[in-house]
């Protein structure tokens, strides 16, 4: 395996995401963290902000790049000669959705292999949505996301409260 892609929305990136990226970076020559542009979803962070947060969190890894993309992941992989798609699984409930996506990607781009990595058990409950929800009620999430992401999350939530 030379090149892998780890797609997601990363709104914001969590320590669980970082764990997967670090593990994949140790397996392949090059990892692309691909931020999906989804016009149907309005993220808390802009694509540029998410990219900045991820770049800061992976700066210690010299074989990782961060890009934004829209459209089908299978097309992105084909166009960029990437044959390995990495997905993290937190629980059995993730598997049903992820297997459907993996099979569709394989249909659209037969060279694509999806590798599922089980999350580190300390992150099994962790999601970006949960982090935002807890932080929105002033719950402590500082140990769940990278330092810069935490700082920017608190700033953004503070700014939203000021808008009311």
Cβ atoms 15, 110 nearer than 8 A: no
- pLDDT-derived band of residue 163, with 50, 70 and 90 as boundaries? low
Annotated binding site for substrate: 9, 41, 73, 87
Q: Is the pLDDT of residue 56 over 80?
A: yes
What are the counts of helices (DSSP H) followed by strands (DSSP E) for the chain?
6, 5
Q: Tell me 148's DSSP state.
A: H
Active site residue 138: no
Tell me the C-alpha to C-alpha distance, in Å, between residue 164 and each of 132, 137, 144, 156, 161: 18, 15, 27, 13, 6
The mean of the pLDDT values for the chain is: 93
- Tokens 């593990």, located at residue: 23
Q: Where are the domains of the chain?
A: 3-124
Q: Is the pLDDT of residue 16 over 70?
A: yes
- pLDDT-derived band of residue 38, with 50, 70 and 90 as boundaries? confident
Distance CA 12, CA 22 (A): 17
Cβ atoms 154, 135 nearer than 8 A: yes
Would you call the peptide bond into 12 cis, given omega within 30 degrees of 0 as the criterion?
yes
pLDDT digit string, tens, across residues 62-97 = 999 999 999 999 999 999 999 999 999 988 888 999
Annotated binding site for ATP: 9-10, 17, 88-90, 98, 123-129
Cβ atoms 145, 123 nearer than 8 A: no
CATH number at 3-124: 3.40.50.620
Q: Other CB atoms closer than 10 Å to residue 82's CB: what's the count?
A: 22
Active site residue 158: no
143 Cβ partners below 8 Å, 6+ apart?
15
- pLDDT-derived band of residue 41, with 50, 70 and 90 as boundaries? confident
Find the mean pLDDT for residues 35-50.
89
- pLDDT-derived band of residue 35, with 50, 70 and 90 as boundaries? very high
pLDDT digit string, tens, across residues 97-121 = 999 999 999 999 999 999 999 999 9
Of the candidates 3, 30, 78, 90, the residue annotated as catalytic is 90
Cβ atoms 65, 3 nearer than 8 A: no
Specify the pLDDT at position 55.
98
Bridge partners for 7 per DSSP:
34
Annotated binding site: 9-10, 17, 41, 73, 87-90, 98, 123-129
Active site residue 128: yes
Specify the pLDDT at position 164.
45
More confident residue, 161 or 149: 149
Of the candidates 50, 128, 132, 152, the residue annotated as catalytic is 128
């Amino acid at each position: 395996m030379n090149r892998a892609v780890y797609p997601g929305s990363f709104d914001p990136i969590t320590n669980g995401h970082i764990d997967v990226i670090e593990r994949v970076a140790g397996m392949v020559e090059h990892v692309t963290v691909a931020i999906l542009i989804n016009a149907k979803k309005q993220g808390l962070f802009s694509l540029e902000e998410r990219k900045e947060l991820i770049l800061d969190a992976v700066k210690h890894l010299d074989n990782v790049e961060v890009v934004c993309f829209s459209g089908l992941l299978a097309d992105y992989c084909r166009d960029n000669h990437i044959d390995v798609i990495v997905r993290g699984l937190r629980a059995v409930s993730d598997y049903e959705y992820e297997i459907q996506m993996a099979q569709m990607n394989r249909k659209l781009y037969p060279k694509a292999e999806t590798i599922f990595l089980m999350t580190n058990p300390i992150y099994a409950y962790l999601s970006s949505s949960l982090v935002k929800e807890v932080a929105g009620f002033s719950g402590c999430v500082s140990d769940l996301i990278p330092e810069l992401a935490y700082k920017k999350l608190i700033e953004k939530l503070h700014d939203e409260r000021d808008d009311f």
